[in-house]
């Protein structure tokens, strides 16, 4: 009798461990970023009509609406954009590829919350990079406020994080004080490109909604560190909202880190991107100073 009870308990433990080992899920996220106004483009180029400006803004809005799929188990996950075909008559493909690196897309983001490491493959200016680094540390403040997302009870958490200088979604229009300062510059300095109408804040406030009903330490992009799957992220400009969850599907997905590209740290990758952005900025300023058509004239 004792032996039978012992073997039954042993079998229950085995089943529980095996269930945890085989646990896997999939979450679909809709990401929407508030598109910047392009009034400055008309100020710098009179050939751009109001209709053209509206079309450009609509295309930008479309490019800033993305769908991602998060595949996860107890400790690892991959987060990848779901590719979409352009609608007939639209030619956003080339611009989307060019801007993907600045908007959090264009590769597979792999997280391992046990080792606290992440790997993401990125393509920038025709070169492939494999960014490998430590996951960011979030000092989450757990709130008592709750709401439901897709039938799951979620709790609110907030954190402050440093804004990435290579993520286009962090760009904010310059405030009036900064514009007044720009107005005091020389004519050559005032001839700038579109990017000079924006600035990047030092820090941004993140609001997350997580569900303890899915007790894993995961979330979209590089977000993690809460006692439940993060179903929504909001930083004031970008909202990432979970629209579908499937747990323990019959067909399992292989969750593994990407391996293609030149290995660099996040800092090294950011330095490469920033250097190229500065080269473009100087090139456009030079065109304006030599009488060529500037992208923006402030």
- 17-64 residue pLDDT tens: 344 567 999 999 999 988 766 555 555 555 667 776 666 666 666 778
Instruction: Place 72 in a pLDDT band, splitting at 50, 70 and 90.
Output: very high
Stronger pLDDT, 122 or 95, i.e. the higher one? 122
What mean pLDDT do residues 74-92 have?
75
Would you state the pLDDT for residue 98?
Answer: 53
Contact 149, 234 (CB under 8 A): no
Would you state the pLDDT for residue 279?
Answer: 82
What mean pLDDT do residues 193-198 have?
56
Would you state the pLDDT for residue 163?
Answer: 80
What mean pLDDT do residues 183-203 have?
56
- 288-298 residue pLDDT tens: 544 443 343 33
Half-sphere exposure for 97 (CA within 13 Å, toward CB): 10
- 100-120 residue pLDDT tens: 555 545 689 999 999 999 999
pLDDT at 260 over 80: yes
Would you state the pLDDT for residue 74?
Answer: 95
Q: Poorest-confidence range of 28-37, 137-146, 182-191, 203-212?
A: 182-191
Long-range contacts of 41-44 (CB under 8 A, 24+ apart): 41/194, 41/295, 41/296, 43/296, 43/297, 43/298, 44/293, 44/294, 44/295, 44/296, 44/297
Would you state the pLDDT for residue 13?
Answer: 35
- Residue-wise burial string across 248-278, b where 16 or more C-beta atoms lie within 10 A, e elsewhere: eeeeeeebebbeebeebebeebbebbeeeee
- What tokens were used for 236? 């004031």
Would you state the pLDDT for residue 138?
Answer: 96
Share of the chain above pLDDT 90, in %: 45
User: Whole-prediction pTM value?
Assistant: 0.75
CA distance 278 to 275: 5
């Amino acid at each position: 009798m004792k032996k039978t009870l012992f073997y039954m308990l042993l079998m229950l433990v085995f089943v529980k461990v095996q269930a945890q080992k085989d646990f896997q899920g999939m979450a679909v996220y809709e990401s929407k970023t508030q598109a910047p106004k392009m009034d400055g483009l008309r100020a710098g180029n009179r050939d751009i009509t109001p209709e053209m400006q509206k079309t450009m803004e609509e295309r930008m809005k479309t490019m800033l609406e993305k769908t991602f799929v998060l595949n996860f188990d107890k400790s690892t996950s991959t987060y990848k954009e779901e590719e979409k075909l352009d609608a007939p008559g639209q030619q956003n493909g080339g611009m989307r590829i060019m801007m993907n690196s600045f908007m959090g897309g264009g590769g597979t983001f792999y997280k391992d919350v046990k080792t606290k490491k992440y790997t993401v493959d990125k393509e920038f200016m025709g070169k492939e990079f494999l960014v490998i680094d430590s996951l960011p540390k979030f000092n989450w403040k757990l709130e008592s406020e709750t709401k439901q997302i897709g039938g799951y009870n979620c709790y609110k958490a907030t954190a402050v994080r440093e804004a990435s200088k290579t993520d286009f979604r962090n760009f904010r229009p310059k405030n009036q004080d900064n514009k007044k300062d720009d107005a005091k510059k020389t004519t050559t300095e005032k001839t700038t490109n579109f990017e000079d109408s924006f600035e990047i804040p030092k820090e941004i406030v993140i609001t997350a909604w997580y569900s303890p009903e899915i007790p894993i330490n995961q979330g979209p992009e590089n977000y993690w560190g809460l006692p439940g799957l993060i179903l929504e992220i909001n930083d004031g400009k970008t909202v990432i909202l979970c629209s579908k969850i499937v747990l323990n599907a019959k067909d399992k997905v292989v969750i593994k880190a990407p391996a293609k590209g030149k290995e660099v740290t996040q800092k090294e990758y950011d330095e490469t991107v920033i250097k190229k952005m500065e080269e473009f900025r100087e090139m456009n300023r030079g065109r304006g100073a030599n009488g060529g058509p500037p992208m923006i004239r402030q």
